[in-house]
Amino acid sequence: MRNQKNHKQGYLFDPWAHLGPKRRKLLEDSWAGLFREHVLTELPVDEIAPFFKDDFGRPTKELYMMMGAVLLQQVHDLTDEETVDQVAFSEQWRYALNITSDSDEAAYICPKTLYNMHRIFINNNIHESVFNKITDKLARAFDVDVTKQRIDSKHIKSDMARLGRIGLMVKTISKFLVNLKRQRRELFDGLPEELVKKYMSEKERSCFSMVKPSESANTLASVAQDLFELSMHFAGNEQVTAMTSFQLLLRVLHEQCKVTENDAGEPVEVEPRPCKDVPADSLQNPSDPEAGYDSHKGQGYQVQVMETYSDEEDPDKKAQELDLITYIEVEPACEHDSSALMPAIESTQERGLGPDEVLADSHYGGDENVAAAAEAEVELIAPAMGTKKKDKLGLDEFEFTEEGEVSKCPAGHAPVKNKTNKKKGRHSAAFNSDVCADCPHAAQCPAQRGKKHHYLRYSDKELRLARRRQEEKTPAFKDRYRRRSGVEATMSDFDRMTNIKRLRVRGRPTVRFCAFLKAAGVNIFRATKAKAARKAKNPAPPGPVAPFSRPFYAFKELVPSIIRELTNLLFPTTPQVIISPGK
């Protein structure tokens, strides 16, 4: 049975009066106060409500409280046991989640209940709705200017071991044999005892981690042969080929090994591929099949983050501005950043948070992205991709007219003629060969000698890149682009505040669950800081105190005197006459 509380309803008596005014103020000024005021009531309870009946079964834990606890667990990077303790005993958590009762029904969560709520979040992408709703609410509450944004990516790691090629193959074979023994025992018993012992016995398997460098090539070839024989042995068995662990085994075989076929097209021999031929999106660990590999940062995932920024130079005013993360997505580490720009722009535009201009590094600055962003009415401010050769002059060294024709070469000479093929998007400029022969830049110049002249040929795309490189050298571009570096502070906050760099989970769905909620946490912490800066700059004037807004502890002090007065009114007493003895 669903248990859902209306957190917008006020209280006749303040349930937090026992804290006193100073501790109460600390709570209201902390992240807990902002969470209670802006976040708690925005949680999408309607998305988890269908998983519980409203007229049958035992009452659930209060749904807003449960969703808030799941969010705060990721924000503070806690284990399930630590989360249970915080809900039960932390005054900040209980204030943030509006837990006003000390009963076990209100202030205790079973770890199994917390785990079940995680599954509901992950299987239904509810973490996306949580992030979007919190971000949208904070953008409205703090009047965030979303017209200027910047984007970058951060490498993160899931909770998986870093395996070499031998370790990867051994782990994959071992995983398959374990599953085969559980699901198809009769097929497992038919395997050679020596093979089973080699990969199932912990003692035998540990030998693979102590291979000498001089023997690694032979060991790799031997393990690859076992991998190949297992794949051939069960190739025709539909029950085995449907197993996920067997499909991972085949994936490792095709990515890490080269299989030779005979004239009939049958695989007969296998050998390990050279390291340079192994694709970047190859399997890194069978425990986390969706993780990728980046040659610079290693195994894992990358998080795409887009946030707002301000041009404000005054430090006091800057502190009052809220730099809000508006978009986040998780990708394998092997994905290139260029593919992340348009999904980020489209996602924010759909939610009414779309930017007018986006700052990005050169990985996002491809010509296709510039054109696609312009079509979406967004200006992409990013350096052009690629680098010039040091011993060659680039096309950006030439001067062009508005029509795209060359007006001067780097030496200051004008071309004899220009020619443009608009249909094919090609241009050429012809220079006097006698002049070019005596030019000091002749060895570095891209103009090539022809029959009559020296010719410089270029396409529309090369012209656009040349003009962008020319613009990058101007002070105006440098002044606009210098604010892109501020996104690095966000990446530092992401790790420092929420410890996203190394997660406790594996698998892309669960990694996304953590990343989205942790990004929401960064927004909450930043909003708390901005709120404090605004309050310090513009303190609220003291207003009249409403009768029922007085703290309960003050009311308690009046109770004895009120009781005495009522007693005297209801039960008046006559003065006693004391008669002394003898009178």
**Among residues 345, 342, 385, which one has the least CA distance to residue 362?**
385
**Cβ neighbours of residue 385 under 8 Å, at least 6 residues apart?**
338, 362, 363, 365, 366, 367
What are the distances in angstroms from CA 220 to CA 23, 226, 288, 291? 63, 10, 22, 22
Q: What percent of the chain has pLDDT over 90?
A: 47
Q: What percent of the chain has pLDDT over 70?
A: 92
Question: What distance lies between CA 339 and its chain's CA centroid?
Answer: 15
pLDDT, residue 92, reads 93
Question: 53 φ, ψ to 5°?
Answer: -80, 145
pLDDT, residue 557, reads 55
What pTM does this model have? Answer: 0.85
Integer Cα distance of 539 and 381 in angstroms: 38
Average pLDDT of span 318-327: 92
559, 563, 566, 567: CA torsion to nearest 10 = -170
The tens digit of pLDDT for each residue in 343-357 reads 999 999 999 999 999
Integer Cα distance of 370 and 464 in angstroms: 10
Average pLDDT of span 5-16: 82
Q: How many C-alpha atoms does 100 have within 13 Å on its Cβ side? A: 14
The tens digit of pLDDT for each residue in 400-412 reads 888 888 888 888 8
CB atoms within 10 A of CB 261: 10
pLDDT, residue 117, reads 94
pLDDT, residue 559, reads 60
Integer Cα distance of 548 and 530 in angstroms: 30
Q: pLDDT class for 583, splitting at 50, 70, 90?
A: very low
Average pLDDT of span 263-274: 80
Cα dihedral sign, 284-287-292-293: negative
Structure token pair of residue 70? 């799941």
pLDDT at residue 341 is higher than 70: yes
**Cβ neighbours of residue 472 under 8 Å, at least 6 residues apart?**
383, 384, 478, 481
pLDDT, residue 579, reads 47
The tens digit of pLDDT for each residue in 556-577 reads 555 666 766 777 777 665 554 4
* Three-class SS state of 332: strand
Question: What distance lies between CA 236 and its chain's CA centroid?
Answer: 42
The tens digit of pLDDT for each residue in 47-79 reads 998 898 888 878 889 899 999 999 999 999 999
Cβ–Cβ < 8 Å for 359, 344: no
The tens digit of pLDDT for each residue in 445-481 reads 888 888 888 888 888 888 889 889 989 889 999 999 9
The tens digit of pLDDT for each residue in 25-50 reads 999 999 999 999 999 999 999 999 88
- Burial of 104: CB neighbours in 10 Å, binned 0-12, 13-18, 19+: exposed
Integer Cα distance of 308 and 330 in angstroms: 19
**Which region among 270-274, 405-409, 506-510, 556-560 has the lowest average model confidence (pLDDT)?**
556-560
Average pLDDT of span 419-433: 87
Structure token pair of residue 307? 């946030």
What are the distances in angstroms from CA 331 to CA 20, 168, 272, 496, 508? 48, 21, 28, 21, 8
Integer Cα distance of 454 and 444 in angstroms: 13
pLDDT, residue 547, reads 44
Mean pLDDT of the chain: 87
Cβ–Cβ < 8 Å for 149, 358: yes
Domain boundaries in the chain? 17-145+517-537, 165-277, 395-469
Quote the DSSP letter at residue 261.
Answer: E
The tens digit of pLDDT for each residue in 210-248 reads 777 888 888 889 889 989 989 998 988 889 999 999 999
Q: pLDDT class for 546, splitting at 50, 70, 90?
A: very low
Which helix (H) or strand (E) segment holds residue 334: the answer is none
